[in-house]
Structure 1
Amino acid sequence: MSASDPPTVSYDAELAQEQRYLTAARASLARMRESAMALDPTRASDGDSSYDLAVTLARRIATLQDDPRTTLFFGRLDHTGGEPYYIGRRHVSDAGGDPVVLDWRAPVSAAFYRASRTEPMGMLRRRRFGVDHGRLTAIEDEDLTGTDDRPDTPRSGILADEIERPRTGPMRDIVSTIQPEQDLIVRADVGTTVCVQGAPGTGKTAVGLHRAAWLLYAHRERLDRTGVLVVGPNRAFLDHISAVLPALGEIRVHHATAADLVSDKPARADETADLAVLKGDSRMAAVMHRAVWAHVQRATEPLVVPRGVRKWRIPAYEVQEILDELSTRGVRYDAARAMLPQRLAHAVLLRMERSGDSPDDRVQDAIARSAPVRKYVASVWPTIDATAVLFALWSSPELLAAAAADELTSDEQAMLLWDKPFRSKGSARWSAADLVLLDEIGDQLSRVPSLGHVMLDEAQDLSQMQLRSVGRRCSTGSATVLGDIAQGTTPWATDSWATTMQHLGKPEHHLEVLDRGFRVPASVIDFAARLLPAMAPGLGAPVSVRENPGRLDLLQVEGPDAVADAVRDQIGAARGEQGSIGVILPDARVAQLSRALSAAGIEHGRLDQNHGDDSDHQVQLVPATVAKGLEFDHVIVVEPAAIAAAEPDRRTGLRRLYVVLTRAVSSLAVVHAEALPVELGG
């Protein structure tokens, strides 16, 4: 065997022995699940709630579900300390409590991903298993002692097969194929915020999800209490990744889009890109802050509090000192307002003490609740709500000018004002950018609770104000921020991760760059990378590390009817191979092509916003604006020039096209009647 050959040593006897071990492990998992199901939550101890115990048991039972389509372990580590370690998706123990399979997140499991001949981490051998429908089909061993003449990082045939294995449903986990550089990100400490610049196919989304699973394992008690949230670019993306964490034994992670965070209702108004960019600018935070705190009035009258036969008087200047102190101490508007009655009552109490009285805390509380104090507080520190504040700003040039101060020019202020003001805040139609500003105002009124960890994907596409809205959800926790500057497709897309992290409230972070592509084959990534010099100059092109170059077909046809025929032919050809098929096309053409496919008897799903489909179709029609973050074995891209032209400017259009062209795992077919963009050789 040459030094470049895969280190495969598949022996029938050893394979049969490993299969028997897998059968025994499955029996142990079934016993663990039966034991959990037999527990009675109503017999909780005095210190526990039966409801809480029932919830915990339900979670436990769900994590012990076996999936017969896969195996409980995918690798083995041999070491000098005794029995080998079997590495799998979850921990399995035998009847005596001894481990049968180690959770991939356990500390010792890190060696499966990181050990090498130069750094064996105490291991002698790494074994990978080939799997087909839940059965072991192959063994591949890698000597970590350096006693043979093979290269330090020999090519793994099983690893390559697993990466390229066709998929028939949502994004799957990469737990058996995590690379050393990915594992370092996955196991970063819970207190560390990590930013990942990842080119297409580098697995950044999967890395982020596995990091969430690892954090919940390593810091379970802390994150069970504070929560973990995954923020994605759209609902189709969240549906696409929804199966990954449960497959890893984690069902406690919430999912949301950036829009979901700020409102449970959709935006009702559209606006120009220029106006949305302005509303998403971080300068708006200072404008919203002034608009909120402008409601605190100056004290022009003294506070007079009758108490028995006497009246206690706090002069206006002293009240103003209290107002100034509360306004500048860094607390939220509502919290400071709640403190004001007690502060005023305390000032009265001091005067009572100086007169010889001996009032106690009950007297102070009574004064704070008295009608004169409540009326005075309402006059100088009124109760407000976010919609009223923003409604007033967009309706009044005077109020907006006062809040804008030097932040906004007169032209920018004119852009923000409604041409025809609504009659009331209840009738106002808010845009998506307005909803983010309402969230900003809401946080000025009352602090948004912080979670323990937030994973933010496609972060390059968020506006500065959207980043602030995500950042306050992890203000006391950490974050995993994922994205690719080259894939920024919004008018406000970032060109700098340092700027992004500043607006997120995480200036102290660790930046990782992933540029080795494991998903996108070389022929596809090289074709898409032709766009980089025009849309992201200076950004390095990703490098595909797969030996299989994949397939790239460029098909120019005559006319729209010929496009539909060519797409049908390509679907037919792809159906002859295993795996998912994604047809990505301009948003405006989805309905038309869907009708053509239906007429041809081709079953398919649609991922456009108004046609959600929970069915698991092999063929999916994907609007170009929804393609980000998705992946398919076979991709058919329709009319690249039209996809690029649909965006407001050339750079954004090329970035959208770059995203679309890099969704393929095995093959890419480009069908077009229009000429290709010149950057692609058209």
Structure 2
Amino acid sequence: EIVSMLMPSMRDAEYNLGEARARLREIPEFRRLMFQIWPSLSPTELLHDLFGSRALLKSAAKDVLTDQEAEALFRARAASRDEAIFSDADAALLDEARELLGPRPRKGGVIDEADEIATFGHIVIDEVQDLTPMQLRMASRRSSGAMTVVGDIAQATGPFAPSDWNAVLKLLPKDRAARVAELSVGYRIPREIMEFAGRLLATAAPGQSAPTAVREADEAPRVVRVDADALLAQVTGEAKELVGALDSGRIAVVCPDDMADAVSSALDAAGVAHGRAGSSALEATLTVVPVGVVKGLEMDAVIVVEPTAMYEHPDVGPRGLYVALTRSTQRLVVVTSRDLPTELRD
């Protein structure tokens, strides 16, 4: 690019661009100068250097992040860049850096086609509401323009949860107008459970409507209100009852993340066999599931513990509670020591 900018100033009409580049590459001093003022960085080198310098982070984050947010990104540099460790969350940043830096030239300035970002004729993404804006950009780069994305805005949680479909679509290819098709029929969740959980939609996802369920439940959702000191005993009793009622079904006790240990201990003390989500792959008939990992699960019966605590938690909120309440295909029991959120009260 530098050579291209300098060429118009060349008076020698016979001096061509390719020849100028070739001659400059042969000059060691020129190569050293170019590396100093325009270093050839890989994405991992760029992020490793950026995250390892408070000064660079402060400069890059100016008017974008708070000082506390910038400090949270700092991580001590590894002994060498090859030893740098990146998280899953860094993948989208590395891809963005790759796009901005461009493919790294091999010896002689030749670009390796393997370094180019491949595109696909059609991309299908499930649970798209859980992708961050940077992850959506990463997917968009690999699209030739045709995509099918599936998701439920009412189940979007996390710091980048979209408020509506426009927040998702604006980050996807714009080669053609998007068509949004809303699911109007529900086959998994019984009508009684869907109607109960659906009361949260006006808060969790304004403008979204619950699908019409095609089947009935064996019984309506039950809400059990108890004193706080009797909560765990009630949960244990409800779990025993469901295990006895459902011979071969899967049952989940969904609770606030910070209650999982207490619920598990109470079940142990009562001699109720159970598993823990993440440690037993839901192989047990009864599993204790923290609400933070319940998304995507499907159970025959669910006991939701302390829904108001979930509703009020900043990382869960109405959407997280909606997810918890819509995991059951047959029976739903809600056990609480507090008043239910306003939307769920009769």
State how far apart, in whole Å, the 2-side matches of 1:668 and 1:569 are: 14
Higher strand share: 1
1:170-249 paired onto structure 2 within 5 Å: none
Matched, 1:679 2:339: no
Matched, 1:647 2:314: yes
234, 238, 256: which one aligns with 1:586: 256
Task: Output the amino acid matched with 1:443.
Answer: E
Matched, 1:519 2:183: no
1:253-652 paired onto structure 2 within 5 Å: 319=3, 321=5, 368=25, 371-384=28-41, 385-388=45-48, 390-391=50-51, 395-396=55-56, 399-400=59-60, 408=63, 412=65, 414=67, 416-418=69-71, 424=77, 436-445=92-101, 446=103, 447-451=116-120, 453-472=122-141, 474-476=142-144, 478-505=146-173, 508=176, 509-548=178-217, 550-560=219-229, 562-575=230-243, 576-577=245-246, 578-607=248-277, 611-614=278-281, 616-647=283-314
Identity of aligned residues (%): 34
Residue in 2 that maps onto 1:56 = none
Task: Output the amino acid matched with 2:136.
Answer: L
State how far apart, in whole Å, the 1-side matches of 2:217 and 2:72 are: 58
State how far apart, in whole Å, the 1-side matches of 2:265 and 2:317 are: 26
CA contact (8 A) 2:49 2:77 kept: no
State how far apart, in whole Å, the 2-side matches of 1:540 and 1:429 are: 43
| 1:439 to 1:555, Cα distance in 2 relative to 1, 3 A | same
State how far apart, in whole Å, the 2-side matches of 1:380 and 1:621 are: 57
- Count residues with an aligned counterpart: 323
Structure 2's unaligned 5+ residue stretches are: 104-115
Task: Output the amino acid matched with 1:526.
Answer: E
- For residue 653 of structure 1, report the CA deviation from its aligned partner: 0.8
CA contact (8 A) 2:145 2:175 kept: no
650, 656, 662: which one aligns with 2:326: 662
Task: Output the amino acid matched with 2:71.
Answer: W
State how far apart, in whole Å, the 2-side matches of 1:454 and 1:426 are: 39
1:642-676 deviations in Å (ceiling 9; x for gaps): 1112225xxx6111111110111011011112221
Structure 1's unaligned 5+ residue stretches are: 1-295, 297-317, 326-346
| 1:524 to 1:386, Cα distance in 2 relative to 1, 3 A | same
State how far apart, in whole Å, the 1-side matches of 2:21 and 2:213 are: 71
CA contact (8 A) 1:522 1:550 kept: no
State how far apart, in whole Å, the 2-side matches of 1:535 and 1:363 are: 62
TM-score (norm 2): 0.77
CA contact (8 A) 1:632 1:665 kept: yes
TM-score (norm 1): 0.42
Task: Output the amino acid matched with 1:600.
Answer: A
Task: Output the amino acid matched with 1:321.
Answer: M
421-430 vs 594-603, which deviates more?
421-430
CA contact (8 A) 1:494 1:500 kept: yes
CA contact (8 A) 2:164 2:205 kept: no
Task: Output the amino acid matched with 2:313.
Answer: A
SS at match of 1:584: strand
| 1:606 to 1:556, Cα distance in 2 relative to 1, 3 A | same
CA contact (8 A) 1:524 1:550 kept: no
State how far apart, in whole Å, the 2-side matches of 1:555 and 1:665 are: 20
State how far apart, in whole Å, the 2-side matches of 1:670 and 1:392 are: 47
SS at match of 1:637: strand
| 1:530 to 1:416, Cα distance in 2 relative to 1, 3 A | closer
CA contact (8 A) 1:463 1:493 kept: yes
